[in-house]
Amino acid sequence: MIEVKGVSKSFGSNQVLKDISFDVKEGEVVVLVGPSGSGKSTLLRCINFLEEFQAGEILVDGAAVGYSGGTSGPSRRRQSEADVANLRTKAGMVFQNYNLFPHKTAIENVMMGPVLVNKDSKADARAHGLELLAKVGLKDRADHFPSQLSGGQQQRVAIARALAMRPKVMLFDEVTSALDPELVDEVLKTLRDLSNEGMTMIIVTHEMQFARDVADRLLFFYQGAIIEDGPPAEVFANPKTERFQTFVKRFQANSHRG
Amino acid sequence: MDVAILNLGYLLKAAIVTLEMAAATVVFSFLLGTALGVFAALGGTAVRSVLTVYVYIVRGVPVLVLIFIAYFGLPRMGLDAPNYVAATIALVIYFAAFVADIVRGSILAVPKTTVEAGMSIGLRKAQILTQIQLPLGMRLALPPLVTTASIAVKSTSYASIVGVWELTYASREVVERTLAAFQIFFAVMLIYFCICYPISLGATYLQRRLKTS
Amino acid sequence: MNWLNLAAGWLPEFFDGFLVTLALVAMCLPVAVVLGVLLVLLRVSERAVVWVPTYAVIEFLRNVPTFLLILVVYYGAPLLGSRLDGIYCGAIAIAVQHTAYLAEVFRGGVSAVPRTQWDAGRAIGLKPAGVFFRVVLPQAVLKVVPAIGNQVVVLIKDTSLVAGIGVVDLTLSGKLVMERTASSYEVFVVIAAFYLILTTIASALFRWLEIPAGKRR
């Protein structure tokens, strides 16, 4: 479903992604973890081309993202804005700070993509949108504005908004990091439900327990490279690197949930 | 105060001229300024630099000097326009710069993350502009724009210096005729106040209401 | 027509006008600042009998055209028996209005100073006026240095309005030169450039002042 091949990215002279390669199968739930600045969020944002990358190729459902013509070299060209926008509909993204449109109600937020991009009728979009809001448990808040919703509720609306485009893969960028501890669980439950339905998901998170429970695969990022890759149980039990051990220990010590 | 009341009809007629001039100034400068501001927010460095220079000049030059340039310059350019047209053109050019700067700043103040959210659901650049950046940007721009409108109303009084018959000019006429400076000017100041104060209250109200959303 | 020759001929007259403009700024600015500080002290008082009339006066002055205020002093002064020169009429009007403007600017700064600062001042034994002048006001002023800079630029530009009552400042000197030399709007373009230089210097000065101000915030 997702193929990342040799992706490298630098911000100026600072290389944040070093030749990253991995695949994600359909229905897989992959969790990306690592210290801040390790490149995991950047890589996620490359997948839906919110970030450019100087070398490498990313394929979503077989189609190249952002560039056409290979992984590097003169034939590599940026895609048109239209193509990029089109490809973004295949990958739904949920952000750390929810990023709901403040001037639209919850249902309007969810309807925006289908109406404006897919040219669905407003009636169809509304019906589908209400279904999705019901799925995340917020049908009765459909006509509320984001300012009237709690953080956890806003995040769930954001998830519904991303799902409205019927994406092939869902990308989650630290979606619980900005939430008060009491609100984290409701969002994690929604993620769990999605994974049980077979959605392909790539999740950047600090929630280690969640990673252990839900992920099929765990990738540990460190300074722009993946240094651990495997089922979470295995990685936690037999880490290949000391760095991962240190990272996990630090997390258990600083855990804000307990 | 009877002097003031006797002349009130005359003064109110002049007040209407002031309002007409103020309305024309506000409408045209806001239209021009919004267009410039949107271009500058989205366009490249060329457009933005032009706007920066334009705002810098207008910020640093008195309105009166601009009015004089228009008043004496327009006939020279072959446009034989009445004095109030020249004055209004000067005022429009003056305030359009401020409006453009406010609009540009407000559009750019829309958080990048909100724009990215639009991108992530596949919206095109034009759609993000019309559905997200403009609506949210104009909300931010409203309080300072309303304040600018209030200043524009007061600036119409400077047109009296080039002979435009509006409220300030009329009040001067009446005072020179009746010598009742304090009563007449107090009445006229009250009229200006009654126009401008509600506008500035509107700005404060908008500022507070838009902060919560 | 040789531009340079023309310009050179104009310069001495402009210079006299320029001096008048500078004189107005020099008279009005310090007065407006000092009175503005006193006015804001009244404005932030908690006693309604003090702040309500102060609010009314400030709002009234802020919502009337500057030129009208100048006219009030110009036509009103003789009625009160004084024979004020036009320049002083202008100076009084501009100083009064800018006192109100600056009081509002200072008020913005004062309201941005945390409540806790007031408490801290009282806690070390200062009386309310002392707290205001020694603790709150300095912090307020530091916060609004850019806004004060903006107001100074507005003041410089407002001085041009005395041209409307015949005071030969930089603007009116332009009109006189224009009439004398039978030229036209170009004169005012040069005048505009002069103002631009003046306001640029003033803005640069305040941007420079923002550096120490920023450190002490």
Question: Which CATH number belongs to the domain containing residue C180 in this structure?
Answer: 1.10.3720.10
- Contact across the interface for B60 and C161, Cβ inside 8 Å: no
Q: For A38-56, what is the mean pLDDT?
A: 90
Domain boundaries, given as residue ranges, for chain B? 2-212
pLDDT over 70 (residue C1): no
- C85-101 confidence digits (pLDDT tens): 889 999 999 999 999 99
Contact yes or no, A with C (3+ CB pairs under 8 Å) = no
DSSP letter for each residue of B17-30: HHHHHHHHHHHHHH
CA of A134 to nearest chain B CA: how many angstroms apart? 20
Number of domains in chain C: 1
DSSP letter for each residue of A205-225: -S-HHHHHHH-SEEEEEETTE
- Contact across the interface for C188 and B65, Cβ inside 8 Å: yes
Query: Searching chain B, which residue's CA lies closest to the CA of residue A115?
Result: B123
Sequence letter at residue B126: A
Residues 6+ apart with CB under 8 A from B55: B97, B98, B100, B101
- B49-99 confidence digits (pLDDT tens): 999 999 999 999 999 999 999 999 888 888 888 889 999 999 999 999 999
- Contact across the interface for A85 and B139, Cβ inside 8 Å: no
Model confidence band, residue C56 (pLDDT cutoffs 50, 70, 90) = very high
Torsion B53-B59-B63-B65 (CA) sign: negative
- Contact across the interface for B122 and A92, Cβ inside 8 Å: no
Model confidence band, residue C199 (pLDDT cutoffs 50, 70, 90) = very high
- A111-164 confidence digits (pLDDT tens): 999 999 999 899 999 999 999 999 898 989 899 999 999 988 999 999 999 999
CATH code for the domain defined by B2-212: 1.10.3720.10
C153-to-A73, A137, B61, C160, C193 alpha-carbon distances in Å: 55, 56, 9, 12, 14
Out of A81, A147, A161, the one facing B125 most closely (by C-beta) is A81
Half-sphere exposure of A155 toward its Cβ, with a 13 Å CA cutoff?
Answer: 24
Query: Searching chain C, which residue's CA lies closest to the CA of residue B62?
Result: C157
Residues 6+ apart with CB under 8 A from A141: A106, A133, A148, A149, A153, A157
Domain carrying residue C173: 3-215
Do the domain assignments include residue A44? no
- β-pair type (A2-11, A77-78): unpaired
Q: Which pLDDT score, from 0 to 100, does residue C181 have?
A: 82
How big is the CA angle at B126 (ends B124 and B130), to the nearest 5 degrees?
120
Domain carrying residue A119: 100-166
Higher per-residue pLDDT: B143 or B62: B62
Chain B touched by C60 (CB under 8 Å): yes
- Contact across the interface for C164 and B158, Cβ inside 8 Å: yes
Per DSSP, which regions of A12-127 are E strands? 14-24, 29-33, 55-60, 63-64, 67-68, 77-78, 91-94
Chain B touched by C130 (CB under 8 Å): no
Do the domain assignments include residue A109? yes
Distance between CA atoms of residues C68 and A110, nearest Å: 55
A52-to-A85, A201, B43, B185 alpha-carbon distances in Å: 14, 21, 21, 64
Long-range contacts of residues B134-139, Cβ cutoff 8 Å, at least 24 apart = B134/B38, B134/B107, B135/A103, B136/A101, B136/A102, B136/A103, B136/B110, B137/B41, B137/B103, B137/B106, B137/B107, B137/B108, B137/B109, B137/B110, B138/B103, B138/B106, B139/A103, B139/B106, B139/B210, B139/B213
Which residues from chain B sit within 8 angstroms of residue A165, using beta carbons? 121-122
Q: For C170-177, what is the mean pLDDT?
A: 90
- C102-121 confidence digits (pLDDT tens): 999 999 888 888 888 888 88
pTM score, whole prediction: 0.82
Q: For C26-33, what is the mean pLDDT?
A: 94
- Contact across the interface for C171 and B61, Cβ inside 8 Å: no
Distance between CA atoms of residues A11 and A41, nearest Å: 14
Chain centroid to CA B200: 13
Three-class secondary structure of residue C133 per DSSP: helix
Query: Searching chain B, which residue's CA lies closest to the CA of residue A45?
Result: B120
Chain B touched by A222 (CB under 8 Å): no
